[in-house]
Structure 1
Amino acid sequence: MTSTTSTRTEDFTAALNLPASPETVSALFTSAAGVSRWWGPTEGDGAVGGTLVTSFGEHGVNAMRVLEAGPTRVVWESIAPDGTTPTGHTQEWLGTTMEFDIVATDTGTELRFRHAGLTPQLECWDDCFAGWTYFMASIEAFARTGTGTPFGV
């Protein structure tokens, strides 16, 4: 008899084939206006070194320090700035990174998303998995129709 053990250590990842140009897709992650179109009302600076703060109403905010903001790769680090009320999962997200790789294809763009550090061991995994799945669909809706489904809409 053999036994197998699952470590369940994989980061959350998603890959989307989007009918939009790489420039259009990149713009969703490099400005507060872009992030607001798919995630939620966002303020701040999407340039490298800037901070983007997305509001989830009574649930608090997610804040991200922008580590990379290029046309083919955007990377954010989850932070908890003073003076904000973080969402309930922020403690588990601190120090994790959200990576958006943007690859041109014959039909538009492939978006490869990885939330490095968001793994099934975290208490928020089920809620965060459902949330990211919803917001990946919001990105896809925006690419297809010009309108996403961000929080608060």
Structure 2
Amino acid sequence: MTNSYSLELHLPVGPDQVLAAIHSPTTWWSEGITGPTADVGDEFDYRYGTVHHSRIRISESSSERVVWLVLENEFGFLEGEDEWIGTRCVFDVAPTESGTVLRFTHDGLFPHFACYDVCSQGWDHYVGSSLVAAITDGRGTPNAKGTARTSYEASLPSD
């Protein structure tokens, strides 16, 4: 049993629609993501100003699971910027009678980490709200330069 950050969502759409949205993180996480995000081996950069930068590789992709491996990480807001390095963002997708269950786990993001509160609030928004909106309404709420989406982002000076 892991105590990594995890979130389970029940969505009224099929798994293919969920997977398509996961592979389009610019529509729900950050418009500033650069690089390919669809296939195993693809690497992309996430950047939100000077607050957070990560380099991520898609290490697994199937009809049931997408896994992102964090290769590099830098936080501009606290010590412990290496806390994400080697962690995995796991999207497990399973069909149900009424749609799809999506279980997101940031495997290796533990409550004792310095970034846990900020990062879990971020995932609550970006996966729990923005990804859901991208899937169900076709329009998520990703961040972009000058568009803070979480209370923590809003508390920082814009760059």
Alpha-carbon distance in 1 for matches of 2:103, 2:84:
19
State the Cα distance separating 1:70 from its structure 2 match. 1.3
Match of 1:45 among 20, 30, 36: 36
User: Hey, what does 2:135 align to over in structure 1?
Assistant: 143
Q: Does 1:17 align with 2:7?
A: no
| Contact 1:62-1:90 at 8 Å conserved across structures | no
Aligned residues: 138
Consecutive unaligned residues in structure 1, runs of 5 or more: 1-8
Which segments of 5 or more consecutive residues in structure 2 lack a partner in the other structure?
148-159
Aligned-residue identity in percent? 34
**Runs of 4 or more off by more than 4 Å in structure 1?**
none
The TM-score normalised by the length of structure 2 is: 0.79
Q: Distance in 2 between matches of 1:24 and 1:62?
A: 26
* Letter paired with 2:75: T
Local SS of the residue matching 2:114: coil
- Residue 86 (structure 1) shift: 3.3
Q: Does 1:98 align with 2:89?
A: yes
Pair member with larger Rg = 1
Structure 1 vs Structure 2 CA RMSD: 1.8
